[in-house]
Amino acid sequence: MILFTDSGSDLPKKFFDEHDVVLFPLRVHLNNQEYPDIIGVDLKEFYDEMRKGAAPKTSQVSPEDFYNTFEKYAKEGEEGIYISFSSQLSGTYNTAVMIAEQLREKYPDFKLNIIDTKCASLGQGLVVKKAVELRDAGVPFDELAEKVENYANHMQHIFTVENLDYLARGGRISKSSAFFGGLMSIKPILHVEDGKLIPLEKVRGRKKALARMVEMMAERGGDFSNKIVGISHGDDLETVEELKKLIEAKLHPKGFDVTMVGAVIGSHSGPGTLAIFFTDQDYKE
């Protein structure tokens, strides 16, 4: 069984090599150059360029990339599960579905399940990791797809950004809101609901925003003693350490999984983004 995902998952390049997962990189356009996300971008340099004023643009996985890769496995008689970036945040999922339908005309026996995780960044990444764990444990195709979809449906995302201007550029908030929010040191707290970014609250100051995010975790996640908490960041490890201490003191999770926000998502959220991911209290294996 082949597992596929895309770079919306924000997992590091070595993960794909070590765990035999096929990666479809989205593209980032920076300073008149195009790069494949994760495999072709130095994230430290990327965020430094953004801090200097660069305004990267992004594009989804091309139909040709999907066709060529899926066809390779169809010819080999493999079955596969593609764990996709939220369809509400990228056209990548819909393109993959369209290409899969085309391929089934040529390879009617090709078994490919495309899952819209309605997740992003390490929220999606944790779903991919769950799929790897299940595959490696020998869980059969249909059961694995069902379990992965269930896990994705219970994934919580809570995040904040350092600079509102990047959300304004992407049309997530108005430019006037970004301007006045910046003057007032307003930090928005957002989450993902049905695959879309939804603002939850506005908090004044970074420290208060972090504390409130941890409160929200407690409200939504229940008992954390057996949970891994995912944290992704826009090149701000110092604040990640601060956030981990707050979470540890209040919730005592089993552990943490930390990664940098990739270039495609980072293009819209900016340097200093901090995001937390965990399963909600209703999640059952």
Domain range list for the chain = 2-26+61-153, 155-279
How many separate helices (H) and strands (E) can be counted in the chain?
11, 13
pLDDT for 168 equals 61
User: Could you tell me the mean pLDDT of each successive run of 10 residues in the chain, 285 residues long?
Assistant: 98 96 97 95 96 93 97 96 96 97 95 98 98 98 97 97 70 46 67 90 90 97 96 97 98 98 94 97 90
Model pLDDT, residue 199: 83
Q: Supply the pTM of this predicted model.
A: 0.94
43 φ, ψ to 5°? -65, -35
d(CA 103, CA 107) in angstroms, rounded, equals: 6
Contact 239, 274 (CB under 8 A): yes
CA atoms within 13 A on the CB side of 236: 24
Q: In what order do the strands lie in the sheet with 27-30?
A: 33-36, 27-30, 57-59
CATH of span 2-26+61-153:
3.40.50.10440
Can you give the pLDDT at residue 169? Answer: 65
The encoded tokens of residue 64 equal 């040709």
What is the biggest distance separating any 2 CA atoms in the chain, rounded to whole angstroms?
Answer: 59
Report the pLDDT value the prediction gives residue 167, as an integer from 0 to 100.
65
pLDDT confidence of residue 198: 86
**Cα–Cα distance measured from residue 5 to residue 21, given in angstroms and rounded to the nearest whole number:** 7
Rg of the chain over Cα atoms, rounded to whole angstroms, equals 19
**CATH class label, 155-279:** alpha beta
